[in-house]
Structure 1
Amino acid sequence: MEISHFKDMYLAELQELVSVEDQLAEALLRMAAAASHPALKNALVDHHAETIAQKDRLVAILNQHGVDPAAHVDQAMEALIRETRKMLGILEGDDLRDAGLIASAQKLEHYEIAAYGSAAALAGQLDLRNDQAMLHASLEEEKAADALLTEIAKGEVNPDALAA
């Protein structure tokens, strides 16, 4: 597919984000099932619900623009999730697995932060203020999820993994 207009590039970015959220929603449930620390398990489950809401926001934006939300598959997210599965398969012990889960989850979150930040900036350039506000809300949720994972890692999971 060739893109020749700025707005089309923006809409393609949103379609990619729908794919990101779809893939992440599934991965978060698998990650929560693998987690042993209650705070980590809860954070992953809570972020799953937030991920569904973020996808719904994206679909609403794309519907307003008359664009099919499911037109793209984000290959970068596929690769990040594949790496997460690989990591979980080689880590031994609950504490070490939880530390690996956080490291992997933060890679996923950082990718989303970059994607939402870019999409919000594109919306701003297009003077699509409602879109921009919705994308910024998701961006802030992603930043908060990342901060919570850092807090759980520093306060509970990593010290336990180090002591194991």
Structure 2
Amino acid sequence: MASKTLQDLFIHALSDVYSAEKQLTRALPKLARATTNGQLKQAFETHLEETNGQIERIDQVVELFGVKLKRIKCAAMEGLVEEAQDEIETFEQGPIRDAALIAAAQKVEHYEIATYGTLATLAKQLGNEDAMKLLLDTLQEEKATDEKLTQLAKTQLAEEVQQKG
């Protein structure tokens, strides 16, 4: 049966991002192991901690709405994780692979930024300000992670790539 309401859309999107975050908790340790850059490794490890907190926030949103998540698999995250794995297999360990991993991680961040922005808007439209605030907290974390990755790419990693080019 097709979904019909704004709340149905919200539950579907929330279920999808829950799947995405769960997939990410399995992928981030692999990314951390694949890098030779200490700051990038730390960024992946920090994001894993944040991701676990974001999953807890999703659980809080579910409680606030009094709904149950659907068992679905986020195809977008599955593809992004697969692409990151391809980068690991394509490039030997070193600064070029690290640059590829930053690009892959930023694709994930941009997907999450778009998703959490939409979810926060839906929560507001559904009249749940508390859920909206939780989702906006996660949105801000995702934006901050994206910015950290950008700065890492611009500074230390760019120098390493130029040196080993």
- Give the alignment's TM-score, normalised by structure 2: 0.95
Amino acid at match of 1:155: T
**SS class of match (1:136):** helix
CA contact (8 A) 1:18 1:70 kept: no
CA contact (8 A) 2:12 2:70 kept: no
Tell me how far 1:63 sits from its aligned partner: 3.0
CA distances 1:117-145 after superposition (whole Å, capped 9, x unpaired): 01011111112100100000000000000
**Matching of residues 37-56 of structure 1 within 5 Å:** 37-56=37-56
Structure 1: distance between partners of 2:149 and 2:119: 24
Structure 1: distance between partners of 2:28 and 2:3: 32
CA contact (8 A) 1:19 1:72 kept: yes
CA contact (8 A) 1:63 1:69 kept: no
1:136 counterpart = 2:141: no
Q: Provide closer, same or farther for how the CA distance between residues 70 and 162 of structure 1 changes in structure 2, counting only shifts above 3 A.
A: farther
CA contact (8 A) 2:120 2:135 kept: yes
Structure 2: distance between partners of 1:70 and 1:31: 28
Task: Name 1:16's counterpart in structure 2.
Answer: 16
Structure 1: distance between partners of 2:129 and 2:155: 38
User: What runs of 5+ residues in structure 1 fail to find an aligned partner?
Assistant: none
Alignment RMSD: 1.2
1:161 counterpart = 2:161: yes
Q: Which moved more, 1:137-146 or 1:91-100?
A: 91-100
Structure 2: distance between partners of 1:95 and 1:60: 39
Amino acid at match of 1:84: A
CA distances 1:69-120 after superposition (whole Å, capped 9, x unpaired): 3522110110111111111111124111111110000000000000000101
Tell me how far 1:64 sits from its aligned partner: 3.3
Tell me how far 1:152 sits from its aligned partner: 0.8
Q: How many residues were matched structurally?
A: 164
Task: Name 2:80's counterpart in structure 1.
Answer: 80
1:109 counterpart = 2:116: no
User: What runs of 5+ residues in structure 2 fail to find an aligned partner?
Assistant: none
Task: Give the share of equivalent positions with the same residue, in percent.
Answer: 37
Q: Provide closer, same or farther for how the CA distance between residues 156 and 70 of structure 1 changes in structure 2, counting only shifts above 3 A.
A: farther
* Stretches (4+) displaced over 2 A: 63-70
Task: Name 1:4's counterpart in structure 2.
Answer: 4
Q: Which moved more, 1:86-95 or 1:42-51?
A: 86-95
**SS class of match (1:56):** helix
